[in-house]
Each structure stands twice: as C-alpha cells, then as structure tokens.
Amino acid sequence: MKTPLSNALSKIIKHSSTSLKKEFIPLIKARGRISAQLIHAKYNIPSHDISLRDGFVLKSDMLKKLPMQTDKLPQVQTGSRIDGDFVYIIEKERVKSKLINQDLLAKLPRAKEFIKPKGEDIQKGQILINKGDTINSFDVANLASQGISEVLVYEKIKIAYIGVNDSIVDLDQDLQNGQIYNSNAYAIATRGKVLGASVSEILHVKSNSGALKEKLMGLKNCHAIVTIGSMGKGDCVDTLLEDKDFNVIFKGVALAPGGLSGFSFLGSIPILHLPGLPLSAFLGFEVLGSTMINTLYGKRFAKHNAIKTFSLERIKTQSSSQSVIPGFFDGSFFKPFKAKPGMMNVLNNCNGYIITPLSSGIKEGDRVDFYPFLAWND
C-alpha cells in the first residue's frame, strides 16, 4: 500500500539529518546560504530620530509662543538628525508667508508625522537571522547595517544523482539505436542547485541491482543521493530495496505523477528514489526532494509555502492519491497544463504546480494552493 503524501513528507523530515561543517564567508557571498548562527542586532536603525522632510521645526515649548516668524525657527533637511522634543516638521512648501500660526498647524498632518523614530527599522537586540534561515538579499541589507562583514554558514549539501536504465548514456557520447541521454539526472541536479544543494556527481548505471549497489557503495563525497528510474515492481531499484543493507523508510507514495518514489538509507546517507518518466521524476523531486534538502539543512520550515489562488478550470482528482498538477499562475488564477507523466517538455511552460486534495474534484473557481517554481534560496 502506498504511503500518503503527508506521511511521506513527515517521514523525510523525521529521518533526514546530517552533520554539516560550518564556515565563515564574506557577507557579499552569503545570499542563498544557510545561517549556522543566531544573529542579533547590535545597533538601533536609525540610531536616532531623523527628519523625513525639508522644513521648519517646532519644539513643544514653542507651541505656546505662536505665531512665530520662520526666521526664528530651526530648519532641517531630509535625513537630518533630530535631537530634543520636536513635535512638528513643517514642510517649506506649506508656508505661504513667513508666519507660522495655529491656523497653519491645524492644516498639518498629525504631530511627528515626518519624524522617523530611533529604532523604527531595527531595534537593538532584535533577531535578524535565525539558525537554519536562508540568507536572502534583504537579510544582507540588515546585516550590513550592523557592520557585519562575515557570517557563519553551513557548507553546501552535496548530492549525487544516478540515472538507472540499460539505455542511458552520458551527454558526451553519440546515441546508438534505442539509447537515451541521462537528461533526467542533469535536469534534477540543476534544480537541486536552485534549491541550495551542490552537485557531487552525475552518474548512470544499468538496471542491475548488483551494479547499482556497487555504485552506491562507492560514493564517498556526498550528503545525499537521488536515483532516477527502475522503480517499477520487480525492477532494479525495487529489488535492491529488499537488500538488508538498505533501511527503507517508504516505497511508493500516494501521489500522481511520482507515485513510484521511495526513500531509504544506506548507512547514514539518505537516498531519494524517483521514477524514470521525466514529468514524474521532476515533480517527485519538487515535492519530496525539496523537503529532503531543506531538512538536511536544518531549516525551520522544511515545506514550501503556498500562494492561495483560484483554479481557472475544472480538475479531476483521484480518491486514492493526490495529484501534482503543473500549470501557470497569472497573479489571479491558476491554469493547469495538460500533460502526461512521460512528457519532458512541460515544466518550462509552467511557473508552478498545485497538489490536489483527496476529494471528488476541483471545480472552476475553487480555491487552490499554488506552489511556485521559485529559487527557494532567495
């Protein structure tokens, strides 16, 4: 019986772990890396009250002395430091004469409207980055505001990708009759890079459980492995997972396409097993592989956040499994792309996917959760 998708994801999160080295890197290279430390703000930003306009300044004790001539008032420029008990910044263009009185004040925005208070952006002691957070470009701005030039991050996870099929050859070889290139492994490896992992190796092996085990046992410089292909009943990978050296967490997921996916361990190394049909492999990696990568990094949120939207069309669902439906979200609606599991030229016409619930179907206009093909490391 196939494992429900929610259970499969929970098992990946529960069992996946690895010991990653830590390194200090320059802040300019930190985008997309995973923080290995909790970072607090050392300073308030701004460090003092500042003016948001050019104009005249009124202190609270001046209010009783109105009307006043403008040449008796201090002036500030946008970005100037504000010290003392200032109440109003009066924009120069609002002053039609050289006299400021109560009638003019009544027409002004509320008190301190144009004064940016100390610590409004960042307060001293505030958490800027949690351990396990992905550092994005805007985090870099906050860290730079604190004078932080280096950050402690985890090393990049290294993943080996292995295509399993008797007909697979590498890209530098000429195709013979019936042969295919190892395109699935290359596509998934590049997607893994977008999700924050580096590529240890891209290999291929014939559909022979002994040869595949030997290849897997020989991998040394990786934190995880992804196999693609030979997951059918009695096929190479399916047979190999009966071997006592493999700790099988699940084999088969109630997911379409991608149902012939599995997850196991060889020693301490997690292995994600994907089916060989291109669309099944690609979408299986999006749903399962991304969760594995995020969990290995110790990220606080291992699952992808969704965008709430509406389906533009009716979508059939299955009662026994959830479906991954690729398509295009235009900012208002999700339009599914008509595709079959064996197709390859599909996802470059899409910008994300939805996962259907176990229900009688999705009607036109129903709310759906859209998962974009974004670079998760930014």
Assigned CATH topology for domain 5-21+156-297: Molybdenum Cofactor Biosythetic Enzyme; Chain A (3.40.980)
Per-residue pLDDT band at 139 (split at 50, 70, 90): very high
Global confidence as pTM: 0.83
Question: Three-class SS string for the chain?
Answer: CCECHHHHHHHHHHHCCCCCCEEEEEHHHCCCCEECCCEECCCCECCCCEECCCEEEEEHHHHHHCCEEHHHCCEECCCCECCCCEEEEEEHHHCCCCEECHHHHHCCCCCCCCEECCCCCECCCCEEECCCCECCHHHHHHHHHCCCCEEEEECCCEEEEEEECCCEECCCCCCCCCCEECHHHHHHHHHHHHCCCEEEEEEEECCCHHHHHHHHHCCCCCCEEEEECCCCCCCHHHHHCCCCCEEEEEECECEECCCCCEEEEECCEEEEEECCCHHHHHHHHHHHHHHHHHHHCCCCCCCCCCEEEEECCCECCCCCCEEEEEEEECCCEEEECCCCCCCCCCHHHCCEEEECCCCCCECCCCEEEEEECCCCCC
Asked if 224 and 272 touch (Cβ cutoff 8 Å), the reply is: yes
Residue 239's alpha-carbon distances to 153, 208, 234, 248, 284, in angstroms, are 39, 9, 6, 12, 20
For residues 270-277, give the mean pLDDT: 96
Question: Which pLDDT band, with edges at 50, 70 and 90, does 111 fall under?
Answer: low
Distance between CA atoms of residues 150 and 75, nearest Å = 40
**Residue range 283-340, pLDDT digits in tens:** 999 999 999 998 998 876 656 678 999 999 999 887 788 999 999 999 999 999 987 7
Q: Tell me how many degrees the CA angle 244-246-252 measures, rounded to the nearest 5.
A: 115
Give yes or no for residue 224 having a pLDDT over 90: yes
Question: Domain-by-domain residue ranges, the chain?
Answer: 5-21+156-297, 24-43+130-154, 50-116, 307-372
219 pLDDT exceeds 80? yes
**What does the radius of gyration of the chain's CA atoms come to, in whole angstroms?**
29
Domain 307-372 fold is Beta-clip (2.40.340)
24-43+130-154, what's its fold? Answer: Molybdopterin biosynthesis moea protein, domain 2 (3.90.105)
Evaluate the omega torsion of the peptide bond into residue 257 and state whether it is cis, within 30 degrees of 0. yes
In this predicted structure, the answer to whether residue 377 has a pLDDT above a threshold of 50 is no
Q: Does the pLDDT of residue 93 top 90, yes or no?
A: no
**Above 80 in pLDDT, residue 60?**
no
| Same fold yes or no, 5-21+156-297 and 307-372 | no
Give the pLDDT band of residue 376 (cuts 50, 70, 90).
very low
The pLDDT confidence band at residue 378, using thresholds 50, 70 and 90, is very low
Supply the mean pLDDT for the chain: 89
Between the alpha carbon of residue 205 and those of residues 163, 172, 261, 273, the distances in Å are 6, 16, 18, 14
Residue with the bigger pLDDT between 158 and 221: it is 158
Residue 192 Rama label (left phi>0; alpha psi -120 to 50; beta): alpha
pLDDT at 109 over 70: no
